Amino acid sequence: MGNPIAILIADDNKLMRQTLKLIIAGIHDTRLVGEATNGEEAIALAKEHLPDIILMDINMTPVNGFEATRKILKDDPSIKIIGLSLHNQPSYAKNMLQLGAKGYISKNSNHNEIIKAIQKVAAGEKYIAPDIEEKL
């Protein structure tokens, strides 16, 4: 067995971060390496911890998830980013994928959906939540 999948959470909503932490804790062979409350923190923590996967909220201030994704992947294209948003608008998903994200899920996704996204992206596949993919 290789190293556990290192995951960083970037979300300005504390309840969402706590929920994602609980989900990650239940996934075999993963470990949480950090929590960012905005895009600036996500960029700094990505450099510090070099996670395998970042669960990246889109709507954060002062630096949003799009900008943080762009900067993180410019510094380290090997990091896999899964966009996460309350909005299941296809334009958001398209934008994240064009920036280099490997997945996109809505915050309405159930925990099995989030687990599936993490596992697929960790395995090198792209993952788009079905409620978003059908609109793309």
59 lies in some domain: yes
Q: Count up the domains in the chain and report the number.
A: 1
Residue 29 pLDDT: 93
| pLDDT score for 37 | 97
Tell me if 7 is assigned to some domain.
Answer: no
Confirm whether 109 is domain-assigned.
no
Find the CATH number of the domain harbouring 65: 3.40.50.2300
Within-domain flag for 120:
no
> Is 16 inside a domain boundary?
no
Under the banding of pLDDT at 50, 70 and 90, the label for residue 39 is very high
| 44 found inside a domain | no
Assigned domain for 68 exists: yes
Indicate if the pLDDT at residue 1 is higher than 60. Answer: no
More confident residue, 1 or 43: 43
Cα separation, 89 vs 40, in Å, equals: 24
pLDDT above 70: residue 69: yes
